[in-house]
Each structure stands twice: as structure tokens, then as C-alpha cells.
Amino acid sequence: MITAEKLEKVKNTAHDFFSKTGISNFEVKVIEASNDESLNIDLLTDDAGFYIGERGRNIGAFETALRIVMKKNFGEIPNFHLDVNNYRSLKEGSLKELAKKAAHRARFYKKDVTLEAMSAYDRRIIHTELAPHPDIKTESIGEDKERRVVVRYIS
């Protein structure tokens, strides 16, 4: 469990970080995740497009930069995920739906279903969503930015 003092320090550090990016009207919320081992840092802003980027690419870059700042300020930092205006939360829901549809197609047609290229974070959501299904196997294939998930039906 993370102390209230540490949560406040994380929030202040994140607030300072984002204020230095030139943003003026924003709010930072820091919430302990349900697993008690990580934090969710939510940036709420009218300039969400800039912080999200094309297909969510900027969020990852800002998360990496914020992680460096946190490590410099804290030494040992708790694991955290950055979200902007609930973009990642909403995307996670749509990725879970995509995973379910791909599994259904793989079962129905008894053929592999190859999803579009996606980030490691997004691929992990697909793998995790389908892991409990014994008749479905997932595998990441490809290189670098072209890595994608293949959903396979196991008879």
C-alpha cells in the first residue's frame, strides 16, 4: 500500500512535469490501482490531442519521460500508468472487445485471425483478455512497429 504522503508527492511531481510542457488548464489525479502495487496517473485537459497523439503514441512518450523524472525525484518509484482524459481506459475496453470478436471469428471459421499492428501495451491487453480461454492461443508476430497478435483456435 502506498502512503498518502507518497501519493501527494507523485501528484505534485506529475503536476510540475506537465506544467513545464506548456499546458495551462489541466488537472492531475493519482489513484492507487486495485492491485495496490501500481498507480494510475490521470491527466485531464482540454489539450488532450497533443498528449494522446496519433493512435495514442504520445502517451507512451510522456509516460516514459515522466518515469525518468519520477525516478530522479524518488529513486525507487512505484509502477504507474499514465492516462489522458480516460483515453487508455476507453481504448482498453475496445481492445477487449476486439479480442473477443477475434476469438469468436477464430472459433467460427477455425482459422487464425491476425490483428493489426499495435503497441506492446495493447498486445498485452489482447493476450491477457484471451488467456483464460483454453481453446484459444495468442501469439505476437512481426518486428518493431509491425508487431501484431495472431489469435488461433485450438481444437
Domain boundaries defined on the chain: 4-85, 90-153
CB–CB of 78/39 below 8 Å? yes
Residue 33 has pLDDT above 90, yes or no: no
Q: Where are the alpha helices (DSSP H) in the chain?
A: 4-19, 48-52, 57-74, 87-109, 120-130
Q: What is the pLDDT of residues 79-130, one digit of tens each?
A: 899 999 999 999 999 999 999 999 999 999 999 999 999 988 899 999 999 9
Contact (Cβ atoms closer than 8 angstroms) between residue 43 and residue 26: yes
Give domain 4-85's CATH superfamily: K homology (KH) domain (3.30.300.20)
Strand stretches in 17-147, DSSP E: 26-32, 38-45, 79-84, 113-114, 136-141
- Topology of domain 90-153, CATH: Ribosomal Protein S8; Chain: A, domain 1 (3.30.1370)
User: Is residue 105 within 8 Å of residue 112, measured between CB atoms?
Assistant: no
Instruction: Output the pLDDT for position 135.
Output: 98
Q: Is 38 helix (H, G, I), strand (E, B) or coil?
A: strand
pLDDT at 36: 62
Q: pLDDT band at 43, cuts 50/70/90?
A: very high
Average pLDDT value over all residues in the chain: 93
Give burial (CB, 10 Å; 0-12/13-18/19+) of 96. Answer: middle
Tell whether pTM > 0.75: yes
pLDDT at 69: 94
Residue 107 CA to its chain's centroid (Å): 27
